[in-house]
Amino acid sequence: MQTPDLKDMQVVVVGLGLTGKSCVSFLQDQGANVIGMDRNAVELPSGIQTLSGDFNLEVLLNADLVVLSPGVNPHGTEIQNAVKAGVEVIGDVELFARFNTLPVIAITGSNGKSTVTCLVTEMLNCAGMKAQMGGNIGTPVLDLLQCDAEYLVLELSSFQLELLHSLKPVCATILNVSEDHIDRHLTFMAYADAKKRVFQNAKHTIANRDDVKTWPQNYLPKYSFGFSNSPVGISWDAQTKTILADGEEFISAQQCALQGLHNILNIQAAIACVLPLGVKQPAIARAVSLFTGLPHRFQLVSDHQNVRWINDSKATNIGATIAALQSLKNRGSSKLILIAGGDGKKANFTELQPMLLSDVDLLITLGKDGREIASLKPGSIEVADLLEAVTFANNIVESGDIVLLSPACASLDMFDNYQHRGEVFKQSVLEVTQ
């Protein structure tokens, strides 16, 4: 593919957060005439025109190209009017794809994306294949174009995928699909369709065998993972607690630093992504023994007096909370207290109800949609903030019990982001248990 020439093109970057600023810098380096646009006032390097407030339709209509940051809805009125007028509107990953020459492993899904992206990167590096990761995690994709790497491992969100056409991944996977971001995509089908764009032009398409919503058009079991039995692909022997590759023992759960059944699926997915690239079992075994997980993702923050306090603040949708609850199913007689709630992004919480009734001993809720979640389980407790939730839980727990923060909601109704929510939870736990 011929590298596009952006010199002297009039390009408008809409949305000037971390990704937008990366786009501005890249476009400047390419010689484009850049205008920045954001709802809020944002400072850019001198010489770049920056517009704040409502998006300026006249400026958009005069552009040769519009680049949207992932947080900007492409279905907004001003953007759609520009599209109808024939202005090309793309995202940062599409811009990246038009310039990139390195092989890409592309990873998406409702839950587990960051963990699998990190695992795949670790596996490649353990195999001596120099890999860098970015996208929806860490480094913006355009900043990866000049990096010293043999492979790029990209975590991609549905927001990044909905404007993507040109990426040609060597491996692409959808880990799972559960209801999320309905406030942006409007329907579950539109959300699922956005995820499936990751398979366009991919050499190897890797699916969750047990979730048909993750399957590419040409599903091949040999490029699959899951808990169900399969003579090909990556599977699981529950009796021996071993991950299998094509029916043969490959990695035991004891070799893996990550805990929980949901992480077994994440490890399986990472293995399925690297085997087609020639990564061997010893490198994979080393990687899974080294990688202990990411903050705010099913993270043990305290076991004071034999009570486990688990920070799963990254569980910003229903599917993530269900996965966390499933990982604690075999806890014996220990009580499980779940802290949930926040901004549900117009999700339907009824999918969560069966596990709330069967697996949760006490539900504590907070936030914008806390009352709606509380209505799903009799005897639930509604509180004003996380400190009150942690204090209440601490007053009733006994040795062996588990307190799980797994909100099933976004955090922006009460916190800066899910990281902030997780840190407040950790600080609250330390405060009440000391």
Q: What is the pLDDT of residues 100-152, one digit of tens each?
A: 999 999 999 988 999 999 999 999 999 999 999 999 998 999 999 989 999 99
Fold adopted by 100-290:
UDP-N-acetylmuramoyl-L-alanine:D-glutamate ligase (3.40.1190)
Question: What value does the mean pLDDT take over residues 166-170?
Answer: 98
pTM: 0.87
Instruction: Tell me which residue of 98, 66, 69, 70 sits closest to 84, measured CA to CA.
Output: 66
Domain ranges of the chain: 10-92, 100-290, 299-433
Residue 267 has pLDDT above 70, yes or no: yes
How does DSSP assign 87-105, residue by residue?
-EEEEHHHHHHTT--S-EE
For 369, list phi and psi in degrees, rounded to 5: -110, 20
| pLDDT (0 to 100) of residue 275 | 98
Q: Could you tell me if 341 and 409 are in contact, meaning their C-beta atoms sit under 8 angstroms apart?
A: yes
What pLDDT band is residue 2 in, cutting at 50, 70 and 90? Answer: low
308 vs 256: CA distance, rounded Å: 20
In the numeric block, the tokens 């902030």 are attached to: 420
Q: Which of 181-190, 221-230, 339-348 has the lowest mean pLDDT?
A: 181-190
Name the band, by pLDDT with cuts 50, 70 and 90, for residue 13: very high
Alpha-carbon span 272 to 251, nearest angstrom: 13
| Catalytic residue status for 113 | yes
The torsion region of residue 112 among left (phi > 0), alpha (psi -120 to 50) and beta comes to left
Contact 6, 27 (CB under 8 A): yes
Both structure tokens of 260: 């929980």
The active-site residue, picked from 21, 111, 125, 181, is 181
pLDDT at 49 over 70: yes
Distance CA 76, CA 54 (A): 11
Q: pLDDT at position 294, please?
A: 86
Q: Are strands 65-68 and 88-91 parallel, antiparallel or unpaired?
A: parallel
Q: What is the CATH number of domain 299-433?
A: 3.90.190.20
Query: Over the stretch 327-336, which tens digit does the pLDDT of each residue have?
Result: 898 888 899 9
Rounded to the nearest angstrom, the gap between the alpha carbon of residue 434 and the centroid of all alpha carbons in its chain is 33
Q: Does residue 205 contact residue 193 with C-beta atoms inside 8 Å?
A: no
Q: Which of 21, 100, 111, 113 is catalytic?
A: 113
CB-CB contact of 56 with 63 (8 Å): no
Q: What is the CATH superfamily name and number for domain 10-92?
A: NAD(P)-binding Rossmann-like Domain (3.40.50.720)
The active-site residue out of 136, 176, 263, 394 is: 136
- Using the 8-state DSSP alphabet, how is residue 378 labeled? T
End-to-end CA distance of the chain: give it in Å, rounded. Answer: 61
Residue 344's pLDDT band, with cuts at 50, 70 and 90, is very high
| 263 included as an active-site residue | no
Q: What's the CA gap between 199 and 94, in Å, rounded?
A: 14
Q: What is the torsion angle, in degrees rounded to the nearest 10, for the CA atoms of residue 26, residue 32, residue 35 and residue 36? A: -10
> 125 catalytic, yes or no?
no
